[in-house]
Each structure stands twice: as structure tokens, then as C-alpha cells.
């Protein structure tokens, strides 16, 4: 009888312990699983947002190069000159090529270009052609090689990469006339700053720029440049539209750039899963000890798990909205924040928009290196933050270009103009003091375009007006500000 009682008690205790053990595992496994699913979803969302922002930054960089090439057509001499026609004298050729070279110098100073010139089918060329590129075509063929890179027959242009096995430069080609091409190149390392999403996951997320043949043109994984994209990742990367896809091994987001190339970001699923493995092991160990300890540990474990994940999400979200170099809003976040303010304005409220661009910034990079150039951008970002107020929104739009949105809804148009003038004057004064040595050595200064609007206006018009006004400052001498007041009646 006693033996039967002991046996029953043992079975009851064993069954009870098993039930409690399984219940504890169930109670802890469900939130853990949900945390894992939530983490995977958050990663997907943030990767999608980050990839879109990176793609926007790359498009801006590529569009700047294309815009530079298009500006060459402002001079009829560039597109009318054809050395293949026999009616030019040697003296006439020399004079024309000198004018073309001057146009290249004026435009080229605005970008970090390695090559910028016009090449002709007879082997002639004008402009900056690097010795490394010229030596690879010592026997000719440069014109034919770059002419074959034209993929957009509509405007006679195209992008290329990997000429003669050289994987450190991107090339843009645009047809000038029947026998002439404009060719611009820049080092692929110029876009390195765009290939980051978050400091905490930058070593785990692989970011690659690829063409339609899935060849890696640039990547934060140097070993893959010039190679084919991993087949499994390539199968998940859409070739037609922006997308986010995943399988049991990877999460992959794709963003198509305007020039036809694609930005592909991928992260192994095991990286995400590994963040919960240790927690799950602890749960199993604690569940074997007792139901009380299990329940306490499970709850502590859940909160312990949530806090670092929430911190990581906050950091990823900040990385998706803030420029890592200047610590102000990036282009996409600045536009979104400005539009949000504009939507809340009432009829007749005043708003201001300031575009800021550093003059002769290329001289800093060329003479002191890009690391010092990055420091200059950091210091300008710090100066703008020091001068900020609750009514200001600051953003870096790319390169050395910044913008400030002003909420002037509480003041009259006269006060709004005065505030803008005071702010810009103080900014230029503070910049001159902070960068006096760089100004003395390289002419570093600010060109500003300030717009005050006293009517309902959308963001795109504000941006365009301020950008035009800023370039007016550059065209009329630099190191100055140009102001514009817009007053219209509402429709």
C-alpha cells in the first residue's frame, strides 16, 4: 500500500512537474517567438526604408554627374565642333579646343571627377583624361569602347563600369554629335558613405550595387566587387521593381536606381535568429528547476529581451532618418519633416527655406584628403545645430549641400524677412570665424539661397526656388547670400 502510494505520489509529482514544465515552455516560447517575428518584420521594414534612402542618395549622385554633362551643351561650340570635318585650320582647332577645355574646367570644379572630357572618333580628345585611362588606350579604341556604353538611345547616354578590368571607377557617357562623346568618371569610393544603414548591423548587412547581369559594381564587401551576385540572393532580388523578399536563409531588399542599376541589401536569417538562441537555452535550463523560478525568469527574460531589441530598433530608426556624418536629418527625412510642417500651416502663414552650399569644397578634398573633407562637413553640421531653434529643421541633402526650413507662421512678412537676413548673416559670420584657416588657404566659403514665402506653397516649389537662388549666389561671386520674397494670393 505504501509502495503504491509512493508510486502514485511520484507519478503525480512527475506529471505535475511535466505539466508545469510544458506550460512554462509554452508561456515563454510564445512571446519569444513573437519577438523573433517582430524583429524580423522590423528588420525588413527598416532595410526597406534604408535601401530606399540609399537609392535616393545614389540617384542624386548620378543625376549630378548627368547634369554636369548636360550643362556642357549650353555652349554651342561643344556640340557643333567636329574635327572630322576638313574645313578647320590648325589655329581654328586650337582656339575651339581651348574654349571647350575652359568649359570643362568651369563645370568640373563642382565635382570630384577623375576624368572629364570630350573624345572624338579620330582619336582626338579635350579635357581631363587621367594618365591611367589614356595609357590603356595607347593603341586607340577609346572612342569605340565608350560609344558601345551608350544604352539609352533616346538621349544618347549610358553608364559603365570595369573598363579594361579596372573596377575602381564609374563612367558616364553622353553623345555630343556624330563623332564626339562627353565622358565623365569618378572613383567608386566616392559613394562609400551611402553604403551604410546602421553602425550596429553594418558588418552583417551586405549592400551591393549591381547591373542587370547581376554583376556587383560596388559593395561594402570588397571581395565581391566585379563578381556575380550570390545566386540565392540574386533570385530574391527583383529586377523590375523595388521589393523586399525573404526565404529561410535571407532577407533581401531591392531598390532600382534611375540609371538602371539596382541596390541590393541582404542579411542572413541566422543573424536574426542567433539573437534569441542564448535566451531560449536559458529558458530550457530554468524550466527544469521549478515552475516558480521558470515563471519569474520567463517574465524577466522577456523584458530583458525586449529592451535591447527596442534599443536596437531606436538606433536603426535614427540611422534611417539621420545623416551619420553631419548628425542632421538626411534628405528623405528632411523632406518628410518639412512637408509635415507645411501641411499644418494656415493661409497667409510665412515660411522660409535656406539652401547652403560650400564654395571650393573640392579644393579641401583634393589638397587635404576626403577624411578632412568629412571633418569639414561634420563641423558645418555642428555649427547649424548650434544655431538651431524649435522653429528650424536642418537637413543634409547630399555632398556639401545643406538646407534649413523655417517655421515663420507666428510673425509678419516683414519680421520673417528680417529673421531670415539675421540668421543668414550670423551663419556666414560664424562660418567665416570657424573656418578662417580653410578660407585663407582654399577659399572655403558659403553660398546661400534664402526664400521667404507668404502663401500656401508646396515643398517642391520651395526647394526649387531656394536652389535657383543659391546658384545665383554662386554665379555672382560666391561667399554671399541671395534672397527672394514670394507673395501670392491663394487660389
- CATH code for position 425: 3.30.70.270
Looking at 244, 271, 298, the residue that finishes a domain is 271
Q: Residue 220: which domain range?
A: 192-271
Q: Is the pLDDT of residue 256 over 90?
A: no
Domain membership flag for residue 216: yes
Number of domains comprising the chain: 2
Q: What is the DSSP string of 144-176?
A: HHHHTT--BTTTTEEEEE-GGG--SEEEEEEEE
Of 222, 237, 271, which marks where a domain is finished?
Answer: 271
Is residue 346 a part of any domain in this protein? yes
* Mean pLDDT within 304-332: 69
Final residue before a domain boundary, out of 245, 271, 297: 271
Q: What is the average pLDDT across 423-431?
A: 95
Q: What is the pLDDT of residue 93?
A: 83
Distance CA 204, CA 197 (A): 10
Say what percent of the chain tops pLDDT 90.
Answer: 29
pLDDT at 92 over 90: no
Kindly tell me if the per-residue pLDDT of 454 is higher than 50: yes
User: pTM (2 decimals)?
Assistant: 0.49
- 198-207, 300-309, 315-324, 399-408: which has the highest mean pLDDT? 399-408
Same domain (yes/no): 357, 236: no
Task: Provide the pLDDT for residue 23.
Answer: 66
Pick the residue with more confidence: 2 or 81?
Answer: 81
CATH number of residue 233's parent domain: 3.30.450
230 shares its domain with 343: no
More confident residue, 465 or 75: 465
Look at residue 392 and tell me if it is in a domain. Answer: yes
pLDDT beyond 80 at 298:
no
Whether residues 243 and 350 share a domain: the answer is no
With both helix axes pointing from N to C terminus, report the angle between 90-108 and 2-71 in degrees, rounded to the nearest 10.
140
| Mean pLDDT confidence for 52-57 | 81
Mean pLDDT of all residues belonging to the chain: 81
The verdict on 386 and 465 lying in the same domain is yes
Provide the pLDDT confidence category of residue 217 given band limits of 50, 70 and 90.
confident
pLDDT at 302: 44
Are 353 and 469 in the same domain? yes
Quick one: 338 and 482 in the same domain?
yes
In a domain, 118, yes or no: no
Whether 359 maps to a domain, the answer reads: yes
Q: Is 391 part of any domain?
A: yes
Strand-strand pairing, 445-453 and 480-486: parallel
The mean-pLDDT minimum among 3-12, 281-290, 408-417 falls in 3-12
- Specify the DSSP class assigned to residue 403: E
In order of 32, 79, 428, 448, 449, the CA distances from 421 in angstroms are: 56, 42, 11, 11, 11
Assign 313 a pLDDT band (cuts: 50, 70, 90).
very low
Q: 348 and 443: one domain?
A: yes
Does residue 361 sit within a domain? yes
Tell whether the model's pLDDT for residue 435 goes beyond 90: yes
399 & 471 share domain: yes
Q: Work out the pLDDT band at 310, boundaries 50, 70, 90.
A: very low
Of the CA atoms within 13 Å of residue 327, those in its CB half-sphere come to: 12
For residues 369 and 466, state if they share a domain: yes
Is 309 a domain residue?
no
Out of 25-34, 87-96, 333-342, the most confident range is: 333-342
Residues 383 and 238 in one domain: no
Bridge partner list, 131: none
**pLDDT for res 306:** 45
Q: Are residues 259 and 353 in the same domain?
A: no
Name which of 54, 66, 357 is nearest 186 in CA terms.
66
Confidence of residue 1 (pLDDT cuts 50, 70, 90): very low
| More confidently predicted of 110 and 353 | 353
Judged on CB neighbours under 10 Å (0-12, 13-18, 19+), 344 is exposed
Q: How confident is the model at residue 166 (pLDDT cuts 50, 70, 90)?
A: confident
Same-domain status, 353 and 263: no
pLDDT for residue 82: 84
CA quadruple 189, 194, 199, 200: dihedral sign: negative
Amino acid at each position: 500500500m505504501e509502495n503504491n502510494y509512493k508510486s502514485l505520489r511520484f507519478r503525480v509529482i512527475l506529471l505535475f512537474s511535466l505539466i508545469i514544465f510544458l506550460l512554462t515552455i509554452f508561456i515563454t516560447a510564445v512571446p519569444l517567438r513573437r519577438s523573433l517575428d517582430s524583429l524580423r518584420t522590423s528588420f525588413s521594414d527598416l532595410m526597406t526604408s534604408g535601401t530606399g534612402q540609399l537609392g535616393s542618395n545614389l540617384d542624386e549622385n548620378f543625376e549630378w554627374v548627368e547634369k554636369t554633362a548636360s550643362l556642357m551643351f549650353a555652349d554651342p561650340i561643344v556640340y557643333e565642333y567636329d574635327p572630322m570635318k576638313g574645313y578647320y585650320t590648325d589655329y581654328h582647332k586650337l582656339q575651339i579646343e581651348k574654349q571647350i577645355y575652359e568649359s570643362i574646367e568651369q563645370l568640373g570644379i563642382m565635382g570630384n571627377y577623375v576624368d572629364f572630357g570630350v573624345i572624338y572618333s579620330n582619336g582626338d580628345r579635350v579635357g581631363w583624361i587621367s594618365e591611367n585611362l589614356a595609357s590603356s588606350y595607347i593603341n586607340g579604341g577609346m572612342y569605340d569602347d565608350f560609344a558601345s556604353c551608350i544604352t539609352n538611345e533616346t538621349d544618347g547616354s549610358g553608364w559603365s563600369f570595369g573598363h579594361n578590368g579596372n573596377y575602381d571607377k564609374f563612367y558616364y557617357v553622353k553623345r555630343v554629335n556624330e563623332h564626339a562623346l562627353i565622358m565623365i568618371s569618378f572613383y567608386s569610393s566616392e559613394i562609400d558613405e551611402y553604403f551604410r544603414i546602421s553602425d550596429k548591423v553594418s558588418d552583417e548587412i551586405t549592400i551591393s550595387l549591381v547591373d542587370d547581369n547581376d554583376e556587383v559594381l560596388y559593395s561594402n564587401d570588397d571581395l565581391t566587387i566585379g563578381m556575380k551576385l550570390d545566386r540565392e540572393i540574386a533570385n530574391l532580388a527583383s529586377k523590375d521593381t523595388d521589393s523586399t523578399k525573404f526565404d529561410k536563409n535571407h532577407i533581401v531588399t531591392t531598390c532600382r536606381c534611375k540609371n538602371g542599376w539596382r541596390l541590393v541589401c541582404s542579411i542572413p536569417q541566422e543573424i536574426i535568429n542567433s539573437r534569441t538562441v542564448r535566451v531560449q537555452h536559458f529558458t530550457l535550463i530554468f524550466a527544469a528547476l521549478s515552475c516558480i523560478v521558470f515563471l519569474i525568469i520567463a517574465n524577466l527574460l522577456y523584458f530583458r529581451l525586449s529592451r535591447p531589441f527596442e534599443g536596437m530598433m531606436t538606433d536603426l530608426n535614427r540611422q534611417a532618418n539621420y545623416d551619420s556624418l553631419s548628425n542632421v536629418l538626411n534628405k528623405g527625412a528632411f523632406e518628410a519633416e518639412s512637408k509635415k510642417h507645411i501641411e499644418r500651416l494656415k493661409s497667409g502663414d510665412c515660411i522660409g527655406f535656406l539652401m547652403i552650399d560650400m564654395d571650393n569644397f573640392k579644393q579641401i578634398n583634393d589638397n587635404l584628403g576626403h577624411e578632412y573633407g568629412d571633418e569639414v562637413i561634420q563641423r558645418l553640421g555642428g555649427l547649424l545645430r548650434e544655431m538651431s531653434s524649435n522653429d528650424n529643421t536642418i537637413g543634409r541633402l547630399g555632398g556639401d549641400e545643406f538646407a534649413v526650413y523655417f517655421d515663420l507662421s507666428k510673425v509678419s512678412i516683414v519680421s520673417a524677412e528680417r529673421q531670415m537676413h539675421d540668421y543668414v548673416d550670423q551663419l556666414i559670420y560664424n562660418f567665416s570665424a570657424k573656418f578662417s584657416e580653410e578660407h585663407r588657404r582654399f577659399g572655403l566659403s558659403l553660398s546661400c539661397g534664402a526664400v521667404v514665402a507668404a502663401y500656401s506653397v508646396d515643398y517642391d516649389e520651395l526647394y526649387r526656388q531656394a536652389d535657383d537662388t543659391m546658384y545665383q549666389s554662386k554665379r555672382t561671386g560666391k561667399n554671399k547670400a541671395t534672397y527672394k520674397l514670394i507673395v501670392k494670393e491663394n487660389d
